[in-house]
Amino acid sequence: MNQTKGSKLSEQLDAYKRIFDIVRIVDPIRKEIVRNQDNGVISDDALCCSLLLDKNEYSKCIINRSINERKTFIKVQHNGDKMLLMFATPIEIKGDTLALELIKDITDDLVFETVFQEQKHKLQSIVEDLNTLIMKDPLTNLYNRRYIDQMLPREISNCSNKRQPISIAMIDIDHFKDINDAYGHGAGDIVIKRFAQLLSSYTRNNIDWVARYGGEEFLICLPNTDNRKAYMVLERIRKAIERAIIKVGDEEIQITGSFGLFTVIDKELAYTDLIKCADDKLYQAKNQGRNKVVS
């Protein structure tokens, strides 16, 4: 490659670096990255290039396809809680055909609009699938922290505008570490999934929603629900959890949960403050012996 071509390529790569999170040139024959610019934002353990370099079979790898078919490929890839936009295009360097790979985290930048009526159903399905990947916890199928961050402020604002109460509960599985230590993390996952099912089964469809806040901690949002009614709902859930027997192989595990409840009426509170208020109540429930609802 002559100096002019090399200079032009460097200029192009510099331009790409200002747009993409990862810019790299990959040699699929030698199984190596020839040139790499990585800002460290995206974990590299599930990306197409890594699978290629680890010599794993990956038929859908757009790097391989770009090399084999001599054209540019684009795909959207779900990686953990991120949605990534990926480009792969073949380039010639010193007589070798390599692949230029560009990767951008687009999780917070996704905007979908239905333009053509005849495509509406198909596009809605795509959007629903993408939202499921981005907004759902893969273990429990409950909503995740991203959903909380986006939807809870809207719920608070909506209830405030309508002068309706909104109740938030923070819930924790009691002594969950002991369960993991005694039965293993596989059993712990089963307990979390069953706990999540019990939380969801006592809430109103299309009104209330349940999310996994993190680890063994969960959040329930109860719009247009005052403190008394919310307390009754949580008590029913608490008793159902207390009665439940979770089978893991030959073992039977019984669990309890602690609940912190906080209600806002006729005012708009920052969602992080509302969560903190409910979390403070949860802390009180734990200090008072667990397996109870504190409001």
**d(Cα 62, Cα 59) in Å, to the nearest integer?**
9
Strand stretches in the chain, DSSP E: 22-27, 32-38, 73-79, 82-93, 96-105, 166-173, 209-214, 217-223, 246-248, 251-253, 257-264, 293-294
- Mark 108-145 as b/e (b = at least 16 C-beta within 10 Å): eeeeeeeeeeeeeeeeeeeeeebeebbbbbeebebbbe
Nearest to 234 by CA among 264, 192, 198, 207: 198
Tokens of 84: 């990534």
The number of C-alpha atoms within 13 Å of 103 and in the hemisphere containing its C-beta is 29
The number of C-alpha atoms within 13 Å of 252 and in the hemisphere containing its C-beta is 3
Could you tell me if 52 and 28 are in contact, meaning their C-beta atoms sit under 8 angstroms apart?
Answer: yes
Nearest to 109 by CA among 9, 215, 21: 21
The number of C-alpha atoms within 13 Å of 31 and in the hemisphere containing its C-beta is 8
Residue in 11, 118, 128, 216 annotated catalytic: 216
Q: Which residues pair with 25 in a beta bridge?
A: 35, 100
**d(Cα 222, Cα 208) in Å, to the nearest integer?**
5
Residue 69: active-site member? no
Could you tell me if 212 and 137 are in contact, meaning their C-beta atoms sit under 8 angstroms apart?
Answer: yes
The catalytic residue positions are: 216
